[in-house]
Structure 1
Amino acid sequence: MAPILVLGEALVDEFHDGHVAGGAPFNVARSLAVLAVPVRFVSRIGAKDAAGRLLLDSAARFGLAVDGIQRDAAHATGRVSVREEAGSHRFEIHADAAWDHIEASAGHDTGIVYFGSLAQRHAASRAAIRATVKRAPGPRFLDLNLRPGTDTPELAAESLMLADWVKLNEDELGSLLAWFEPTLPALMARFALQGVVLTRGAAGCALHGEHGRLLAEAPGVAQPGFVDSVGAGDAFTAMLLGGMALGRDPGATLRLANRYAAMICGVRGPLPADPATLAPWREALHALPAEDRA
Protein backbone atom coordinates (compact mmCIF):
# COMPACT_ATOMS: atom_id res chain seq x y z
CA MET A 1 0.00 0.00 0.00
CA ALA A 2 1.37 3.40 -1.00
CA PRO A 3 1.84 5.70 2.01
CA ILE A 4 -0.56 8.52 2.79
CA LEU A 5 1.25 11.81 2.13
CA VAL A 6 0.51 14.35 4.88
CA LEU A 7 1.49 17.98 4.20
CA GLY A 8 1.46 20.95 6.56
CA GLU A 9 2.29 22.44 9.91
CA ALA A 10 4.15 20.89 12.84
CA LEU A 11 4.20 23.10 15.92
CA VAL A 12 4.14 23.25 19.70
CA ASP A 13 0.86 23.86 21.55
CA GLU A 14 1.62 25.93 24.65
CA PHE A 15 -0.89 25.17 27.41
CA HIS A 16 -0.80 26.89 30.79
CA ASP A 17 0.52 23.67 32.33
CA GLY A 18 3.04 22.62 29.70
CA HIS A 19 3.97 22.29 26.04
CA VAL A 20 2.88 19.47 23.73
CA ALA A 21 3.57 18.65 20.09
CA GLY A 22 0.75 19.65 17.77
CA GLY A 23 -0.40 20.95 14.42
CA ALA A 24 -3.28 19.22 12.64
CA PRO A 25 -1.16 17.49 9.95
CA PHE A 26 1.42 16.37 12.54
CA ASN A 27 -1.37 15.01 14.73
CA VAL A 28 -2.84 13.13 11.77
CA ALA A 29 0.55 11.75 10.73
CA ARG A 30 1.45 10.55 14.24
CA SER A 31 -1.91 8.83 14.61
CA LEU A 32 -1.52 7.11 11.25
CA ALA A 33 1.96 5.91 12.20
CA VAL A 34 0.86 4.41 15.52
CA LEU A 35 -2.21 2.90 13.81
CA ALA A 36 0.20 1.05 11.46
CA VAL A 37 -0.95 2.87 8.32
CA PRO A 38 1.98 3.79 6.02
CA VAL A 39 2.50 7.56 6.08
CA ARG A 40 5.00 10.15 4.88
CA PHE A 41 4.93 13.52 6.63
CA VAL A 42 6.27 16.73 5.06
CA SER A 43 6.72 19.85 7.18
CA ARG A 44 9.41 22.30 8.36
CA ILE A 45 10.85 23.11 11.80
CA GLY A 46 13.60 25.31 13.22
CA ALA A 47 17.07 23.87 12.74
CA LYS A 48 18.24 23.99 16.34
CA ASP A 49 15.50 25.17 18.70
CA ALA A 50 14.00 23.33 21.66
CA ALA A 51 10.53 23.27 20.12
CA GLY A 52 11.87 21.46 17.07
CA ARG A 53 13.58 18.87 19.25
CA LEU A 54 10.30 18.32 21.09
CA LEU A 55 8.58 17.59 17.76
CA LEU A 56 11.29 15.20 16.60
CA ASP A 57 11.18 13.36 19.93
CA SER A 58 7.40 13.02 19.64
CA ALA A 59 7.63 11.72 16.07
CA ALA A 60 10.11 9.08 17.22
CA ARG A 61 7.85 7.95 20.06
CA PHE A 62 4.95 7.42 17.68
CA GLY A 63 7.06 5.66 15.06
CA LEU A 64 6.73 8.46 12.50
CA ALA A 65 9.64 8.81 10.07
CA VAL A 66 11.18 12.31 10.04
CA ASP A 67 12.96 12.28 6.68
CA GLY A 68 10.26 14.57 5.24
CA ILE A 69 10.62 17.17 8.03
CA GLN A 70 12.74 20.01 6.66
CA ARG A 71 15.12 22.07 8.85
CA ASP A 72 15.10 25.87 8.66
CA ALA A 73 18.07 27.92 9.88
CA ALA A 74 16.27 31.24 9.51
CA HIS A 75 12.82 30.59 11.03
CA ALA A 76 11.81 29.11 14.37
CA THR A 77 9.60 26.09 14.93
CA GLY A 78 5.92 27.05 15.02
CA ARG A 79 4.19 27.88 18.29
CA VAL A 80 0.54 28.18 19.32
CA SER A 81 -0.66 29.69 22.59
CA VAL A 82 -3.73 27.73 23.74
CA ARG A 83 -6.15 29.63 25.97
CA GLU A 84 -8.80 27.48 27.62
CA GLU A 85 -12.18 29.07 28.24
CA ALA A 86 -15.25 27.37 29.73
CA GLY A 87 -14.56 23.90 28.36
CA SER A 88 -13.41 25.19 24.98
CA HIS A 89 -10.17 26.68 23.74
CA ARG A 90 -8.87 29.62 21.72
CA PHE A 91 -5.67 29.59 19.69
CA GLU A 92 -3.09 32.27 19.05
CA ILE A 93 -1.05 30.93 16.14
CA HIS A 94 2.23 32.83 16.00
CA ALA A 95 3.30 34.23 12.64
CA ASP A 96 6.22 33.51 10.29
CA ALA A 97 7.13 30.08 11.59
CA ALA A 98 9.31 27.51 9.86
CA TRP A 99 6.22 25.71 8.53
CA ASP A 100 5.31 28.87 6.60
CA HIS A 101 8.36 28.13 4.43
CA ILE A 102 7.84 24.49 3.47
CA GLU A 103 9.56 23.59 0.22
CA ALA A 104 7.88 21.42 -2.41
CA SER A 105 8.26 17.72 -1.74
CA ALA A 106 10.20 15.59 -4.21
CA GLY A 107 8.24 12.96 -6.08
CA HIS A 108 7.34 9.88 -4.05
CA ASP A 109 5.07 6.90 -4.52
CA THR A 110 2.03 8.02 -2.52
CA GLY A 111 -1.60 7.11 -2.11
CA ILE A 112 -4.05 9.52 -0.51
CA VAL A 113 -2.71 13.07 -0.08
CA TYR A 114 -3.83 15.07 2.96
CA PHE A 115 -3.50 18.86 3.01
CA GLY A 116 -5.14 21.71 4.91
CA SER A 117 -5.86 25.39 4.55
CA LEU A 118 -3.93 26.73 7.57
CA ALA A 119 -0.51 25.76 6.15
CA GLN A 120 -1.35 27.85 3.09
CA ARG A 121 -1.39 31.17 4.99
CA HIS A 122 2.07 32.13 3.65
CA ALA A 123 2.89 32.34 -0.06
CA ALA A 124 5.94 30.06 0.19
CA SER A 125 4.19 27.10 1.81
CA ARG A 126 1.05 27.73 -0.21
CA ALA A 127 2.94 27.37 -3.48
CA ALA A 128 4.86 24.30 -2.28
CA ILE A 129 1.78 22.49 -0.98
CA ARG A 130 -0.24 23.17 -4.11
CA ALA A 131 2.58 22.06 -6.40
CA THR A 132 2.94 18.82 -4.43
CA VAL A 133 -0.82 18.17 -4.37
CA LYS A 134 -1.15 18.78 -8.10
CA ARG A 135 1.52 16.17 -8.83
CA ALA A 136 -0.06 13.58 -6.57
CA PRO A 137 -1.60 10.61 -8.39
CA GLY A 138 -3.86 9.51 -5.52
CA PRO A 139 -7.05 10.94 -4.01
CA ARG A 140 -6.64 14.43 -2.51
CA PHE A 141 -8.18 14.98 0.94
CA LEU A 142 -8.65 18.57 2.13
CA ASP A 143 -9.03 19.28 5.85
CA LEU A 144 -10.64 22.70 5.70
CA ASN A 145 -9.77 24.80 8.73
CA LEU A 146 -11.24 28.28 8.46
CA ARG A 147 -9.24 30.18 11.06
CA PRO A 148 -8.53 33.93 10.99
CA GLY A 149 -6.11 34.61 8.18
CA THR A 150 -7.15 31.54 6.19
CA ASP A 151 -10.92 32.05 6.24
CA THR A 152 -11.35 33.76 2.88
CA PRO A 153 -13.55 32.63 -0.02
CA GLU A 154 -10.53 32.84 -2.33
CA LEU A 155 -8.37 30.44 -0.33
CA ALA A 156 -11.30 28.09 0.23
CA ALA A 157 -12.14 27.99 -3.47
CA GLU A 158 -8.54 27.46 -4.56
CA SER A 159 -8.17 24.60 -2.06
CA LEU A 160 -11.49 22.99 -2.97
CA MET A 161 -10.54 22.99 -6.65
CA LEU A 162 -7.53 20.82 -5.77
CA ALA A 163 -9.49 18.39 -3.60
CA ASP A 164 -11.41 15.18 -4.24
CA TRP A 165 -12.58 14.86 -0.63
CA VAL A 166 -13.10 17.51 2.03
CA LYS A 167 -13.67 17.36 5.78
CA LEU A 168 -15.43 20.29 7.44
CA ASN A 169 -17.66 21.18 10.37
CA GLU A 170 -21.14 22.70 10.29
CA ASP A 171 -19.87 26.27 10.63
CA GLU A 172 -17.42 25.80 7.78
CA LEU A 173 -20.13 24.27 5.62
CA GLY A 174 -22.31 27.28 6.38
CA SER A 175 -19.56 29.60 5.17
CA LEU A 176 -19.09 27.63 1.95
CA LEU A 177 -22.83 27.60 1.23
CA ALA A 178 -22.96 31.37 1.80
CA TRP A 179 -19.95 31.99 -0.45
CA PHE A 180 -20.49 29.61 -3.35
CA GLU A 181 -23.68 27.53 -3.67
CA PRO A 182 -26.86 27.26 -1.56
CA THR A 183 -26.90 23.45 -1.22
CA LEU A 184 -24.37 20.70 -0.56
CA PRO A 185 -25.06 18.88 -3.87
CA ALA A 186 -24.53 22.12 -5.80
CA LEU A 187 -21.36 22.86 -3.86
CA MET A 188 -19.98 19.39 -4.59
CA ALA A 189 -20.82 19.70 -8.27
CA ARG A 190 -19.19 23.13 -8.53
CA PHE A 191 -15.88 21.83 -7.19
CA ALA A 192 -16.15 18.27 -8.59
CA LEU A 193 -15.91 16.75 -5.12
CA GLN A 194 -16.23 12.99 -4.72
CA GLY A 195 -16.98 13.11 -1.01
CA VAL A 196 -17.65 15.39 1.96
CA VAL A 197 -17.17 14.42 5.59
CA LEU A 198 -19.27 16.63 7.86
CA THR A 199 -18.53 16.71 11.58
CA ARG A 200 -21.42 17.85 13.78
CA GLY A 201 -20.01 17.84 17.32
CA ALA A 202 -22.31 16.14 19.81
CA ALA A 203 -24.65 15.24 16.92
CA GLY A 204 -22.05 12.96 15.34
CA CYS A 205 -20.87 13.01 11.75
CA ALA A 206 -21.96 12.18 8.23
CA LEU A 207 -20.34 11.02 5.01
CA HIS A 208 -21.71 12.29 1.70
CA GLY A 209 -20.83 10.87 -1.70
CA GLU A 210 -21.19 12.32 -5.16
CA HIS A 211 -24.17 14.61 -5.70
CA GLY A 212 -24.46 14.98 -1.91
CA ARG A 213 -25.86 11.48 -1.39
CA LEU A 214 -25.69 10.38 2.26
CA LEU A 215 -23.49 7.29 2.46
CA ALA A 216 -23.12 6.83 6.21
CA GLU A 217 -23.74 8.49 9.57
CA ALA A 218 -22.37 8.00 13.07
CA PRO A 219 -23.92 9.25 16.31
CA GLY A 220 -22.15 11.51 18.78
CA VAL A 221 -20.07 9.84 21.50
CA ALA A 222 -20.03 11.24 25.04
CA GLN A 223 -16.75 11.69 26.92
CA PRO A 224 -17.52 11.80 30.65
CA GLY A 225 -13.85 12.42 31.50
CA PHE A 226 -13.50 15.46 29.23
CA VAL A 227 -10.12 17.22 29.45
CA ASP A 228 -9.91 19.25 26.23
CA SER A 229 -10.94 18.92 22.58
CA VAL A 230 -7.52 19.76 21.12
CA GLY A 231 -6.72 17.28 18.35
CA ALA A 232 -10.06 15.46 18.45
CA GLY A 233 -10.83 16.42 14.86
CA ASP A 234 -7.36 15.34 13.77
CA ALA A 235 -7.79 11.95 15.45
CA PHE A 236 -11.10 11.54 13.62
CA THR A 237 -9.42 12.40 10.32
CA ALA A 238 -6.54 10.01 10.87
CA MET A 239 -8.84 7.07 11.59
CA LEU A 240 -10.99 7.96 8.60
CA LEU A 241 -7.96 8.16 6.29
CA GLY A 242 -6.68 4.87 7.67
CA GLY A 243 -9.97 3.17 6.88
CA MET A 244 -10.02 4.68 3.38
CA ALA A 245 -6.44 3.59 2.67
CA LEU A 246 -7.08 0.07 3.94
CA GLY A 247 -10.33 -0.25 1.98
CA ARG A 248 -12.53 -0.64 5.05
CA ASP A 249 -16.31 -0.25 5.23
CA PRO A 250 -17.13 3.52 5.30
CA GLY A 251 -19.88 3.29 7.93
CA ALA A 252 -17.81 1.16 10.29
CA THR A 253 -14.80 3.43 9.77
CA LEU A 254 -16.88 6.52 10.51
CA ARG A 255 -18.17 5.06 13.77
CA LEU A 256 -14.69 4.03 14.90
CA ALA A 257 -13.31 7.46 13.97
CA ASN A 258 -15.98 9.12 16.09
CA ARG A 259 -15.13 6.95 19.10
CA TYR A 260 -11.42 7.60 18.63
CA ALA A 261 -12.02 11.37 18.61
CA ALA A 262 -14.08 11.11 21.80
CA MET A 263 -11.26 9.22 23.49
CA ILE A 264 -8.81 12.00 22.58
CA CYS A 265 -11.09 14.49 24.38
CA GLY A 266 -10.21 12.62 27.56
CA VAL A 267 -6.45 13.31 27.37
CA ARG A 268 -4.37 16.49 27.56
CA GLY A 269 -3.48 17.65 24.07
CA PRO A 270 -3.91 15.93 20.72
CA LEU A 271 -2.57 12.46 21.59
CA PRO A 272 -1.87 10.35 24.69
CA ALA A 273 1.61 10.71 26.16
CA ASP A 274 2.16 6.94 25.83
CA PRO A 275 1.59 5.65 22.26
CA ALA A 276 1.22 2.10 23.61
CA THR A 277 -2.24 3.01 24.91
CA LEU A 278 -3.40 3.27 21.29
CA ALA A 279 -2.75 -0.41 20.51
CA PRO A 280 -6.45 -1.35 20.90
CA TRP A 281 -7.40 1.32 18.38
CA ARG A 282 -4.83 -0.02 15.90
CA GLU A 283 -6.29 -3.49 16.28
CA ALA A 284 -9.84 -2.17 15.89
CA LEU A 285 -8.95 -0.34 12.66
CA HIS A 286 -7.32 -3.36 11.04
CA ALA A 287 -10.20 -5.59 12.14
CA LEU A 288 -12.85 -3.46 10.41
CA PRO A 289 -14.79 -5.22 7.65
CA ALA A 290 -13.76 -4.56 4.07
CA GLU A 291 -15.77 -2.16 1.95
CA ASP A 292 -18.49 -3.82 -0.12
CA ARG A 293 -17.75 -2.67 -3.65
CA ALA A 294 -20.61 -4.62 -5.22
Structure 2
Amino acid sequence: MQPILAVGLGEILWDVLPDTRMLGGAPANFAYHVNALGGAGVPVSRVGDDDLGREALSLLVRRRLNIDAVSLDPDHPTGTVDARVDADGVATYVFPDDVAWDFLALDQSALTLAARADAVCFGSLAQRAETSRRAIHRFLGAANKALKVFDINLRQDFYTPEILSASLDAADVLKINDTELGVVTSLFSLPPGERPALRALMARHHLDLAVLTRGGKGSLLLSPDAVSDLSGEPVEVVDTIGAGDAFTAALVLGHLQQWPLDRINRYAAKVAAHVCSQPGAMPEMPEALRLA
Protein backbone atom coordinates (compact mmCIF):
# COMPACT_ATOMS: atom_id res chain seq x y z
CA MET A 1 0.00 0.00 0.00
CA GLN A 2 1.27 3.47 -0.87
CA PRO A 3 2.11 5.72 2.10
CA ILE A 4 -0.18 8.65 2.81
CA LEU A 5 0.96 11.64 0.74
CA ALA A 6 0.67 14.82 2.82
CA VAL A 7 1.83 18.27 1.74
CA GLY A 8 3.05 21.06 4.01
CA LEU A 9 2.16 24.23 2.08
CA GLY A 10 3.74 27.57 3.00
CA GLU A 11 6.86 28.84 4.72
CA ILE A 12 10.32 27.34 5.09
CA LEU A 13 12.56 29.40 7.33
CA TRP A 14 15.42 29.32 9.79
CA ASP A 15 14.63 29.65 13.50
CA VAL A 16 17.48 31.85 14.74
CA LEU A 17 18.14 31.24 18.44
CA PRO A 18 20.69 33.08 20.60
CA ASP A 19 23.36 30.41 20.12
CA THR A 20 22.33 28.51 16.99
CA ARG A 21 19.87 28.32 14.08
CA MET A 22 17.54 25.47 13.14
CA LEU A 23 15.49 24.85 10.03
CA GLY A 24 11.76 25.15 10.51
CA GLY A 25 8.51 26.74 9.40
CA ALA A 26 5.25 25.00 10.29
CA PRO A 27 4.59 23.47 6.82
CA ALA A 28 8.15 22.15 6.54
CA ASN A 29 7.96 20.77 10.08
CA PHE A 30 4.63 19.12 9.27
CA ALA A 31 6.05 17.47 6.13
CA TYR A 32 9.08 16.25 8.05
CA HIS A 33 6.97 14.67 10.79
CA VAL A 34 4.60 12.99 8.32
CA ASN A 35 7.67 11.45 6.71
CA ALA A 36 9.25 10.53 10.05
CA LEU A 37 6.03 8.80 11.16
CA GLY A 38 5.79 6.61 8.06
CA GLY A 39 3.87 8.74 5.58
CA ALA A 40 5.20 10.64 2.57
CA GLY A 41 5.54 14.28 3.64
CA VAL A 42 6.39 16.85 0.97
CA PRO A 43 7.01 20.58 1.50
CA VAL A 44 5.76 23.11 -1.04
CA SER A 45 7.57 26.37 -0.44
CA ARG A 46 10.18 28.84 -1.68
CA VAL A 47 13.67 29.74 -0.46
CA GLY A 48 16.17 32.34 -1.61
CA ASP A 49 18.89 31.58 -4.10
CA ASP A 50 21.44 32.24 -1.36
CA ASP A 51 23.61 30.41 1.13
CA LEU A 52 20.77 29.92 3.64
CA GLY A 53 18.46 28.64 0.91
CA ARG A 54 20.97 26.12 -0.37
CA GLU A 55 21.72 25.03 3.19
CA ALA A 56 17.99 24.58 3.82
CA LEU A 57 17.56 22.39 0.73
CA SER A 58 20.60 20.32 1.62
CA LEU A 59 19.30 19.76 5.15
CA LEU A 60 15.83 18.76 3.91
CA VAL A 61 17.43 16.20 1.60
CA ARG A 62 19.50 14.82 4.47
CA ARG A 63 16.29 14.49 6.43
CA ARG A 64 14.85 12.42 3.60
CA LEU A 65 12.35 14.95 2.25
CA ASN A 66 11.45 15.41 -1.42
CA ILE A 67 12.32 19.03 -2.35
CA ASP A 68 11.03 19.02 -5.94
CA ALA A 69 8.27 21.50 -5.02
CA VAL A 70 10.57 23.94 -3.18
CA SER A 71 11.46 26.70 -5.64
CA LEU A 72 14.40 29.13 -5.62
CA ASP A 73 13.77 32.89 -5.54
CA PRO A 74 16.53 34.95 -7.22
CA ASP A 75 15.26 38.26 -5.81
CA HIS A 76 14.31 37.67 -2.16
CA PRO A 77 16.25 36.14 0.75
CA THR A 78 15.51 32.88 2.50
CA GLY A 79 13.17 33.43 5.43
CA THR A 80 14.47 33.72 8.97
CA VAL A 81 12.76 34.24 12.31
CA ASP A 82 14.12 35.31 15.65
CA ALA A 83 12.97 32.54 17.99
CA ARG A 84 13.22 33.26 21.71
CA VAL A 85 12.74 30.46 24.23
CA ASP A 86 11.74 31.32 27.80
CA ALA A 87 12.65 29.51 31.03
CA ASP A 88 9.76 27.06 30.50
CA GLY A 89 10.95 26.14 27.00
CA VAL A 90 8.14 28.10 25.29
CA ALA A 91 9.13 29.84 22.05
CA THR A 92 8.03 33.22 20.66
CA TYR A 93 8.87 34.48 17.16
CA VAL A 94 9.61 37.69 15.21
CA PHE A 95 9.35 37.44 11.39
CA PRO A 96 11.05 39.77 8.87
CA ASP A 97 9.01 40.80 5.80
CA ASP A 98 9.58 40.33 2.04
CA VAL A 99 11.35 36.98 2.12
CA ALA A 100 11.24 34.17 -0.41
CA TRP A 101 8.17 32.36 0.94
CA ASP A 102 6.15 35.59 0.62
CA PHE A 103 6.51 35.06 -3.14
CA LEU A 104 5.49 31.41 -3.39
CA ALA A 105 5.08 30.35 -7.01
CA LEU A 106 3.55 27.13 -8.35
CA ASP A 107 4.76 25.33 -11.44
CA GLN A 108 3.03 22.42 -13.16
CA SER A 109 4.81 19.84 -11.03
CA ALA A 110 3.45 21.49 -7.88
CA LEU A 111 -0.08 21.44 -9.28
CA THR A 112 0.34 17.78 -10.26
CA LEU A 113 1.43 17.08 -6.69
CA ALA A 114 -1.71 18.86 -5.44
CA ALA A 115 -3.91 16.55 -7.52
CA ARG A 116 -2.18 13.48 -6.02
CA ALA A 117 -2.12 14.62 -2.38
CA ASP A 118 -4.10 12.80 0.30
CA ALA A 119 -3.79 15.77 2.66
CA VAL A 120 -2.64 19.39 2.60
CA CYS A 121 -1.77 21.39 5.71
CA PHE A 122 -1.62 25.18 5.45
CA GLY A 123 -1.68 28.14 7.84
CA SER A 124 -2.21 31.87 8.02
CA LEU A 125 1.40 33.11 8.23
CA ALA A 126 2.33 32.30 4.62
CA GLN A 127 -0.79 34.18 3.50
CA ARG A 128 0.43 37.54 4.82
CA ALA A 129 1.54 38.51 1.27
CA GLU A 130 -0.88 38.54 -1.66
CA THR A 131 1.40 36.52 -3.97
CA SER A 132 1.75 33.59 -1.59
CA ARG A 133 -1.89 33.80 -0.54
CA ARG A 134 -3.04 33.42 -4.16
CA ALA A 135 -0.64 30.50 -4.69
CA ILE A 136 -1.87 28.71 -1.55
CA HIS A 137 -5.51 28.93 -2.57
CA ARG A 138 -4.68 27.87 -6.12
CA PHE A 139 -2.93 24.78 -4.72
CA LEU A 140 -5.91 24.03 -2.46
CA GLY A 141 -8.23 24.33 -5.43
CA ALA A 142 -6.14 21.79 -7.36
CA ALA A 143 -6.01 19.37 -4.40
CA ASN A 144 -9.34 17.79 -5.29
CA LYS A 145 -9.13 14.61 -3.23
CA ALA A 146 -7.08 15.94 -0.31
CA LEU A 147 -8.06 16.43 3.29
CA LYS A 148 -7.40 20.15 3.83
CA VAL A 149 -6.14 21.07 7.30
CA PHE A 150 -5.99 24.71 8.37
CA ASP A 151 -3.41 24.88 11.15
CA ILE A 152 -4.20 28.49 11.93
CA ASN A 153 -0.75 29.39 13.36
CA LEU A 154 -1.38 33.06 14.24
CA ARG A 155 1.83 35.08 14.30
CA GLN A 156 2.26 38.78 15.18
CA ASP A 157 -0.35 40.72 13.16
CA PHE A 158 0.01 38.66 9.96
CA TYR A 159 -3.67 37.78 9.62
CA THR A 160 -7.04 39.41 9.04
CA PRO A 161 -10.61 38.20 9.60
CA GLU A 162 -10.93 37.90 5.82
CA ILE A 163 -7.85 35.66 5.49
CA LEU A 164 -9.01 33.46 8.37
CA SER A 165 -12.57 33.19 7.07
CA ALA A 166 -11.49 32.27 3.52
CA SER A 167 -9.08 29.68 4.90
CA LEU A 168 -11.74 28.13 7.12
CA ASP A 169 -14.06 27.94 4.12
CA ALA A 170 -11.35 26.09 2.18
CA ALA A 171 -10.62 23.64 5.02
CA ASP A 172 -12.05 20.33 6.21
CA VAL A 173 -10.19 20.41 9.54
CA LEU A 174 -9.27 23.28 11.87
CA LYS A 175 -6.27 22.95 14.17
CA ILE A 176 -5.96 25.75 16.76
CA ASN A 177 -4.38 26.25 20.17
CA ASP A 178 -6.03 27.70 23.25
CA THR A 179 -4.40 31.14 22.90
CA GLU A 180 -5.44 31.36 19.24
CA LEU A 181 -9.00 30.32 20.09
CA GLY A 182 -9.29 33.34 22.36
CA VAL A 183 -8.22 35.63 19.51
CA VAL A 184 -10.58 33.98 17.01
CA THR A 185 -13.48 34.03 19.50
CA SER A 186 -13.07 37.79 19.82
CA LEU A 187 -12.60 38.39 16.07
CA PHE A 188 -15.73 36.43 15.10
CA SER A 189 -17.91 37.02 18.18
CA LEU A 190 -18.12 33.31 18.94
CA PRO A 191 -19.93 31.99 21.99
CA PRO A 192 -17.76 31.68 25.12
CA GLY A 193 -16.21 28.34 26.03
CA GLU A 194 -14.06 25.95 24.05
CA ARG A 195 -16.70 23.59 22.78
CA PRO A 196 -19.38 26.18 21.94
CA ALA A 197 -16.81 28.33 20.08
CA LEU A 198 -15.46 25.37 18.10
CA ARG A 199 -18.95 24.05 17.34
CA ALA A 200 -19.90 27.50 16.02
CA LEU A 201 -16.87 27.54 13.72
CA MET A 202 -17.64 24.02 12.53
CA ALA A 203 -21.22 24.95 11.67
CA ARG A 204 -20.32 28.26 10.08
CA HIS A 205 -17.58 26.83 7.85
CA HIS A 206 -18.81 23.24 7.36
CA LEU A 207 -15.79 21.66 9.05
CA ASP A 208 -15.52 17.91 9.58
CA LEU A 209 -13.19 18.16 12.58
CA ALA A 210 -12.00 20.84 15.02
CA VAL A 211 -8.84 20.27 17.05
CA LEU A 212 -7.79 22.34 20.06
CA THR A 213 -4.39 21.93 21.68
CA ARG A 214 -3.66 23.31 25.15
CA GLY A 215 0.06 22.61 25.51
CA GLY A 216 0.66 20.46 28.58
CA LYS A 217 -3.02 20.64 29.49
CA GLY A 218 -4.15 18.23 26.80
CA SER A 219 -6.14 18.39 23.59
CA LEU A 220 -9.76 18.39 22.43
CA LEU A 221 -11.03 16.84 19.17
CA LEU A 222 -14.57 17.49 18.00
CA SER A 223 -16.35 15.87 15.05
CA PRO A 224 -20.07 16.30 14.31
CA ASP A 225 -20.89 13.16 16.31
CA ALA A 226 -17.92 12.48 18.63
CA VAL A 227 -15.66 14.12 21.21
CA SER A 228 -12.22 13.28 22.57
CA ASP A 229 -10.85 15.37 25.43
CA LEU A 230 -7.60 14.02 26.91
CA SER A 231 -5.11 15.34 29.44
CA GLY A 232 -1.57 16.01 28.31
CA GLU A 233 1.30 13.55 28.19
CA PRO A 234 3.84 14.02 31.00
CA VAL A 235 7.14 15.23 29.55
CA GLU A 236 10.26 17.13 30.55
CA VAL A 237 10.19 20.01 28.09
CA VAL A 238 13.39 21.02 26.31
CA ASP A 239 11.58 23.34 23.91
CA THR A 240 8.18 23.44 22.21
CA ILE A 241 9.41 24.31 18.70
CA GLY A 242 7.70 22.04 16.17
CA ALA A 243 5.55 20.17 18.71
CA GLY A 244 2.28 21.51 17.35
CA ASP A 245 3.31 20.60 13.80
CA ALA A 246 4.18 17.07 14.95
CA PHE A 247 0.74 16.83 16.60
CA THR A 248 -0.88 17.87 13.31
CA ALA A 249 1.12 15.32 11.31
CA ALA A 250 0.07 12.49 13.64
CA LEU A 251 -3.52 13.75 13.61
CA VAL A 252 -3.67 13.68 9.80
CA LEU A 253 -2.22 10.19 9.56
CA GLY A 254 -4.65 8.85 12.15
CA HIS A 255 -7.65 10.64 10.66
CA LEU A 256 -6.96 9.35 7.15
CA GLN A 257 -6.82 5.83 8.55
CA GLN A 258 -10.24 6.42 10.13
CA TRP A 259 -9.09 5.83 13.68
CA PRO A 260 -11.47 6.71 16.53
CA LEU A 261 -10.95 10.19 17.94
CA ASP A 262 -9.48 8.98 21.23
CA ARG A 263 -6.86 6.89 19.41
CA ILE A 264 -5.95 9.82 17.16
CA ASN A 265 -5.75 12.18 20.12
CA ARG A 266 -3.60 9.87 22.22
CA TYR A 267 -1.19 9.13 19.36
CA ALA A 268 -0.81 12.80 18.41
CA ALA A 269 -0.15 13.75 22.03
CA LYS A 270 2.60 11.11 22.36
CA VAL A 271 4.27 12.34 19.18
CA ALA A 272 4.11 15.99 20.29
CA ALA A 273 5.45 15.10 23.75
CA HIS A 274 8.45 13.39 22.17
CA VAL A 275 9.23 16.52 20.12
CA CYS A 276 8.95 18.68 23.27
CA SER A 277 11.54 16.44 24.93
CA GLN A 278 14.09 17.09 22.15
CA PRO A 279 15.81 20.28 20.92
CA GLY A 280 14.58 21.77 17.65
CA ALA A 281 11.62 21.28 15.36
CA MET A 282 12.77 18.15 13.50
CA PRO A 283 14.21 15.58 15.93
CA GLU A 284 14.56 11.92 15.05
CA MET A 285 11.37 9.92 15.66
CA PRO A 286 11.55 6.70 17.69
CA GLU A 287 10.51 3.55 15.85
CA ALA A 288 7.74 2.93 18.39
CA LEU A 289 5.88 6.03 17.15
CA ARG A 290 6.08 5.18 13.44
CA LEU A 291 3.03 3.71 11.75
CA ALA A 292 3.22 -0.06 11.37
TM, length-normalised to structure 2: 0.89
Report the Cα offset of residue 214 of structure 1.
Answer: 4.2
1:133 lines up with 2:133 in the alignment: no
Find the aligned partners of 2:253 and 2:228 in 1 and give their Cα distance: 17
Give the match for residue 98 of structure 1: 100
User: Which of 141, 148, 154 does residue 162 from structure 2 map onto?
Assistant: 154
Give the match for residue 229 of structure 2: 217
Find the aligned partners of 2:287 and 2:143 in 1 and give their Cα distance: 31
Q: Secondary structure at the match of 1:257?
A: helix
- List alignment gaps of at least 5 residues for structure 2: none
Give the match for residue 59 of structure 2: 58
User: Which of 106, 116, 122 does residue 115 from structure 1 map onto?
Assistant: 122
1:177 lines up with 2:185 in the alignment: yes
Kept in 2, the 8 Å contact 1:199–1:206? The answer is yes
- List alignment gaps of at least 5 residues for structure 1: 287-294
Kept in 2, the 8 Å contact 1:8–1:99? The answer is yes
Deviates more, 1:10-19 or 1:106-115: 106-115
Q: Secondary structure at the match of 1:193?
A: coil
Kept in 1, the 8 Å contact 2:177–2:214? The answer is yes
Q: 1:24-39 alignment to 2 at 5 Å?
A: 24-39=26-41
Q: Secondary structure at the match of 1:222?
A: coil
Find the aligned partners of 2:10 and 2:273 in 1 and give their Cα distance: 24
Report the Cα offset of residue 246 of structure 1.
Answer: 3.4
Which whole-Å deviations, capped at 9, do the CAs of 1:230-268 have from their partners, x for residues lacking one?
111111111111222334343212111111111111211
CA RMSD after TM alignment: 1.7
Letter matched to residue 5 of structure 1: V
Letter matched to residue 174 of structure 1: G
1:190 lines up with 2:190 in the alignment: no
TM, length-normalised to structure 1: 0.88
Report the Cα offset of residue 124 of structure 1.
Answer: 0.5
Which whole-Å deviations, capped at 9, do the CAs of 1:120-161 have from their partners, x for residues lacking one?
011100000011112211221100011123242222112111
Find the aligned partners of 1:196 and 1:149 in 2 and give their Cα distance: 23
Give the match for residue 270 of structure 2: 259
Find the aligned partners of 1:35 and 1:264 in 2 and give their Cα distance: 12
Give the match for residue 240 of structure 2: 229
Kept in 2, the 8 Å contact 1:203–1:219? The answer is yes
Give the match for residue 176 of structure 2: 168
Find the aligned partners of 2:182 and 2:280 in 1 and give their Cα distance: 28
Give the match for residue 12 of structure 1: 14
Letter matched to residue 86 of structure 2: E
Report the Cα offset of residue 200 of structure 1.
Answer: 1.4
Identity rate of aligned residues, in percent? 37
Q: Secondary structure at the match of 1:280?
A: helix
Report the Cα offset of residue 38 of structure 1.
Answer: 1.9
Letter matched to residue 158 of structure 1: A
Find the aligned partners of 2:41 and 2:241 in 1 and give their Cα distance: 22
Which whole-Å deviations, capped at 9, do the CAs of 1:154-181 have from their partners, x for residues lacking one?
2211211111111001122222222323
Kept in 2, the 8 Å contact 1:177–1:187? The answer is no
**Corresponding pairs, count:** 277
Kept in 1, the 8 Å contact 2:30–2:41? The answer is no
Give the match for residue 131 of structure 2: 124
Find the aligned partners of 1:18 and 1:64 in 2 and give their Cα distance: 22
Find the aligned partners of 2:275 and 2:20 in 1 and give their Cα distance: 17
